[in-house]
Amino acid sequence: MKTNAIRINEYGGPEVLNYCEIDLPDLKPGEARIRHNAIGLNFIDTYHRSGLYPMPLPTGLGSEAAGVVEEIADDVKVVKVGDRVVYTGRPADSYSEQRNFDANQLVPIPDGISFEQAAALLLKGLTAWYLLRKSYAVKTNDDILLHAAAGGVGLIASQWASHLGANVVGVVSTPEKAELALAHGCSEIIMADEDVAEKVLKLTNGKGVSAVYDSIGKNTFISSLNSLKPHGVMVTFGNASGPVDAFAPSELASRHSLYVTRPILADFINTREKLLHGAQELFDLVVQGIIKININQKYALKDTAQAHRDLESRKTTGSTILIP
């Protein structure tokens, strides 16, 4: 069977993304075949493409999609043909019209959530879930700092944190992004080119924040540490500006006993029970209208290179999807 998909034969810029016809193998035990209706674009896809997170080549790309189950292996019990499902996980191959995938990692899409919304929300929303509920569990009246607050993870996390009662200070790069973040749960905004730590101390009467959620990495790591109050928690979860340099543990001591964690989503959804639990919490908030999903960019699957260019040049806000 043939299908269309993105393949890369070498690491590099968006130009290495090839849209081509590929052979879809027969299903292996435990797998389902999904026909995609919408595919989520995520910053991690750019790390896979550039080789920052290496994968054996040639490879597909993409970590999230929503669609319909077309066929299942004989031993699969958790989904059936015709089910509407969404998933996130490896191997990266969601940039495709159809694919085979581990059925245990498929999440049924509830009524009231479209394929496009599902593809725009699962990976980013589950990330917001574990960041705010597990990595540092936000409490009412906590001051927290959230980088890239108008981005995909950012707009979901700002709404969720505000719902949990936190005062969310968002960092963004443009006035338009500031407006968007303020409309989605942020109570204060700091512009990315300002002295973020200095501004945080001003906003918190010299105290600092309880936690920083930092997906920018290299450029912001030290200023994020400087924004924390004693015993504060630094959650460094992304590398939009490059990976964080090595640092001495004494940096945490001199800033009054800080904690640092470097989490990845996969560790929080490594059983079907945990995956479905997190997804349920997320879907409930979306269906109730507490978290709004902003699909602010859509591209045809064959135009994925342009989508990568726009994401990496900070032109996007909220979620981006690809349509096969």
The residues binding ligand NDP (CB under 6 A) are 42-44, 124, 127, 148, 150-154, 172-173, 177, 192, 215-216, 237-241, 263-265, 311-312, 314, 316
Q: Which of 269, 285, 222, 225 is nearest to 64 (CA)?
A: 269
Tell me whether residue 30 or residue 243 sits nearer to ligand NDP (CB atom): 243
Least Å from the CB of residue 57 to ligand NDP: 21
Tell me whether residue 281 or residue 312 sits nearer to ligand NDP (CB atom): 312
Q: Is 171 helix (H, G, I), strand (E, B) or coil?
A: strand
Least Å from the CB of residue 179 to ligand NDP: 12
Yes or no: say if 228 and 212 are a contact pair by the CB < 8 Å rule: yes
Q: Which helix (H) or strand (E) holds 160?
A: helix 152-163
Least Å from the CB of residue 190 to ligand NDP: 11
Least Å from the CB of residue 72 to ligand NDP: 28
Least Å from the CB of residue 127 to ligand NDP: 4
Tell me whether residue 63 or residue 96 sits nearer to ligand NDP (CB atom): 63
Tell me whether residue 155 or residue 209 sits nearer to ligand NDP (CB atom): 155
Question: Mind giving me the DSSP string for 37-61?
Answer: EEEEE-HHHHHHHHTSS--PSSB--
Tell me whether residue 71 or residue 312 sits nearer to ligand NDP (CB atom): 312
Could you tell me the CA-to-CA distances from 282 to 157, 211, 277 in Å, in that order? 11, 21, 9
Please give the backbone phi and psi of residue 10, each rounded to the nearest 5 degrees, phi first: -150, 160
Tell me whether residue 303 or residue 312 sits nearer to ligand NDP (CB atom): 312
Q: Where are the alpha helices (DSSP H) in 28-151?
A: 43-50, 115-130
Q: How far is the C-alpha of 249 from the C-alpha of 15, rounded, in Å? A: 40
Least Å from the CB of residue 74 to ligand NDP: 34
Least Å from the CB of residue 240 to ligand NDP: 4
Cβ neighbours of 28 (radius 10 Å): 10
Based on its alpha-carbon atoms, the radius of gyration of the chain, rounded to whole angstroms, reads 20
Q: How far is the C-alpha of 45 from the C-alpha of 95, rounded, in Å? A: 10
Tell me whether residue 4 or residue 296 sits nearer to ligand NDP (CB atom): 296
Q: Which helix (H) or strand (E) holds 153?
A: helix 152-163
